[in-house]
Amino acid sequence: MGFRLGIQFAVLSTSLFVSGVLGAFGYTSSGNNFLIDAGSSNTLVFSVSKSSCDINSIKYRGTELQYGSQGTHIGSGLGTATVSISQITGSSKYIKVTCVTSTLTHYMVVREGDSTIFMATYITTEPSIGELRFIARLLPDKLPNEYPYGDVSNTNGATSTVEGSDVFVVNGQTRSKFYSSTRFIDEDVHCVYGGSDLMHVCIMTPQQESSSGGPFFRDIDSNNAGASTNLYNYMNSGHVQTEPYRTGLHGPYLMQFSRSGIPSVKSVDTSWFGELGITGYVADSGRGTVSGTASGVQSGLQGVVHWYNSAAQYWTKTNSNGGFTSPKMKPGTYTMVLYQTEFKIASTSVNVNAGSTTTMNIAGSFNTARNTLFKIGEYDGQPTGFRNADKFLRMHPSDSRMISWGPLTYTVGSSALTDFPMAVFQNVNNPVTIRFTLSSAPGAATLRIATTLSFAGSRPQATVNGWSGPAPSAPTKIDSRGVTRGAYRGYGEVYTVSIPSGKLVAGSNTITISSISGSSGDTFLNPNFVSLIPPEPWSLCIQRGLTNPSA
């Protein structure tokens, strides 16, 4: 079985045939296209434009999967590129397509017998549109379903939009391509699939060393937009971006075709890329690792170690004893950060050398003993447990499935964590009220408000029993929507309010936390912060503790 080139290609230039057996591994030239046959038992055949680098036909097991009017390509298409093709024999046989522009080189590689397109993209500068992505535009009738999050980004059949042109309402539910995202540290594989034989097309990213944003960054993975089913590898974008873009080689990453279900990136071996002359590729032999022990992480929270510099980023989770070993890293000097789940608790510097392992321990000191009066949530860098935190990653705040945002009152000792909002929107649920009872007046105290993301300059201002705390200065601006597109990670500010002696009293006490900002906006696109009480676009949520300043 399988697609065969057939008689329609009998007149092609014989100088480019690699094999005289139709359907066997090789490539041919046909007009303005290169036709590439993976030679696998499942037979993947695809066509690449010689002038633009667009993939304009993908046939798997004889079924056309490519959406007709737009190609599969980098960005929105290179437009024009110098496209070349070659066959390479090394540990296996490979076909390499190389597409070159003045600032970008894109590689597509097929290995004999493997129904996978292996890719890598080398850039010397960020694309002018401010994002670097690969997008496969596929036929929705053949591949209507998405993995792992189902219909959350299926906008087919939308009847209206909620904001801009990228959040849609389908059968009363909000849908958006943004809701398909997964944290980089959890990224394994994302797929589209369908048909009676459950054909799968999957993107796998073994590492994102040249992307930006760190282990907890998330970006668009897939969506069914009606006309086409789209499958992405976002290497960087302006979506809640917190650090500069990285140039150099992005990848390898791959698009795999199969009927055998969901593959695992752990089974992917791309070490043979070193045989292909890929610009910017660094083999394992030219890399080093960092090993050590992380301490100071709060019990019950996950330790994560993150390394980054201007050229690369890496991360790993610690084991139950705090031990860790990094992925194989490019040589250089790195900032090394320790998180408890996603909350930063330590930072240091480390040098990585090719061919060796550097030993470097790291210890967090944030979780020192404090005389805490109360705490709402955990210092974990996430809005987990707060109201609507279980929903916002996959739906808009206006969605009918959301529980009322408030304004809410949280009573210490009797309220559930869900009585505190994961985000405070200036025009929706501002302020948040906290009520609590003290057996005696504690004297001076410190209120800590930890936030994860701010929108439109939103930050929290506290009032304690009628006494107004100082208005914090505006946080560093992130020029992007946040919680309305399922994002919650920004720079992560912790605001400290020094409460004078006499303001907290024996008996009943009330604190209100308000979102303040010099900006404005409509409904959920007004100043807000995550996990605490900010105006709409600033999200400060997640943790705050009222503590004795002497602690």
Which is nearest to 352 in space by CA: 290, 282, 280?
290
Provide the pLDDT for residue 252: 97
CATH H-level superfamily of 284-363? Carboxypeptidase-like, regulatory domain (2.60.40.1120)
Tell me the C-alpha distance between 384 and 377, whole Å.
8
Tell me the C-alpha distance between 396 and 454, whole Å.
17
Scored b (16 or more CB within 10 A) or e, 479-489 reads: ebbbbbbbbbb
Pairing relationship of beta strands 289-295 and 357-359 according to DSSP bridges: parallel
Cα angle for residues 238, 74, 144 (degrees, 5° grid): 90
Neighbouring residues of 498: CB distance < 8 A, sequence distance ≥ 6? 444, 446, 549
With beta carbons less than 8 A apart as the criterion, state whether 517 and 457 touch: yes
Strand segments (E) across 221-283? 222-224, 229-236, 248-258
- Does this chain's domain 284-363 share its CATH topology with 372-547? no
Neighbouring residues of 14: CB distance < 8 A, sequence distance ≥ 6? none
Provide the pLDDT for residue 165: 82
With beta carbons less than 8 A apart as the criterion, state whether 257 and 44 touch: yes
**Which structure tokens are listed for 467?**
């006494």
pLDDT digits (tens, 9 = 90+) for 127-149: 887 789 999 999 999 999 999 99
- Maximal CA-CA distance, the chain: 93
Q: Give 432: exposed, middle or buried? Use CB within 10 Å, 0-12, 13-18, 19+.
A: buried
Pairing relationship of beta strands 459-464 and 372-377 according to DSSP bridges: unpaired
Q: What is the CATH number of domain 7-275?
A: 2.70.98.10
* DSSP conformation letters of 41-99: TT-EEEEEETTT--EEEEEETTEE-B-SSS-BEETT--SS-EEEEEEEESSSEEEEEEE
**Which structure tokens are listed for 354?**
């090719």
Range list of H helices, 340-485: none
pLDDT digits (tens, 9 = 90+) for 431-446: 999 999 999 999 999 9
Per-residue pLDDT of the chain (551 residues; tens, 9 = 90+): 332 223 222 223 323 333 333 468 999 999 999 999 999 777 899 999 999 999 999 999 999 999 988 899 999 999 999 999 999 998 899 999 999 999 999 999 999 999 999 999 999 998 887 789 999 999 999 999 999 999 999 999 999 999 878 899 999 999 999 999 999 999 889 999 998 788 999 999 998 999 999 999 999 999 999 899 999 999 999 899 899 999 999 999 999 999 988 888 888 999 999 999 999 999 999 999 999 999 999 999 999 999 999 999 999 999 999 999 999 999 999 999 999 999 999 999 999 999 999 999 999 988 777 788 888 988 899 999 999 999 999 999 999 999 999 999 999 999 999 999 999 999 999 999 999 999 999 999 999 998 999 988 899 999 999 999 999 999 999 888 899 999 999 999 989 999 999 999 999 999 999 999 877 777 787 777 885 422 222 222 223 333 322 22
3-state SS of 131-157?
CEEEEEEECCCCCCEEECCHHHHCCCC
Strand segments (E) across 378-516? 409-411, 423-425, 432-438, 445-450, 454-455, 459-464, 467-468, 494-499, 507-516
Residue ranges covered by each domain of the chain: 7-275, 284-363, 372-547
Topology (CATH) of 372-547: Jelly Rolls (2.60.120)
Task: Supply φ then ψ for residue 538, to 5 degrees.
Answer: -110, 135
Three-state DSSP class for 177? helix
Residue type, 296: G
Provide the pLDDT for residue 6: 31
Provide the pLDDT for residue 290: 98
Provide the pLDDT for residue 537: 22
Tell me the C-alpha distance between 285 and 266, whole Å.
20
Provide the pLDDT for residue 544: 31
Neighbouring residues of 131: CB distance < 8 A, sequence distance ≥ 6? 75, 234, 236, 237, 238, 239
Neighbouring residues of 493: CB distance < 8 A, sequence distance ≥ 6? 450, 451, 454, 459, 475, 540
Output the CA–CA distances (angstroms, integers) from residue 114 to 165, 229, 241, 270, 326, in the order listed: 39, 23, 36, 13, 30
Provide the pLDDT for residue 340: 95
**Which structure tokens are listed for 209?**
């060393």
| Plot region of 254 (φ>0 → left; ψ -120 to 50 → alpha; else → beta) | beta
Give Cα 275 distance to the centre of its chain.
Answer: 30
Output the CA–CA distances (angstroms, integers) from residue 347 to 76, 136, 291, 338, in the order listed: 38, 39, 15, 6
Provide the pLDDT for residue 5: 28
> How many Cβ atoms are within 10 Å of 426's Cβ, its own excluded?
29
Task: Supply φ then ψ for residue 419, to 5 degrees.
Answer: -85, 0
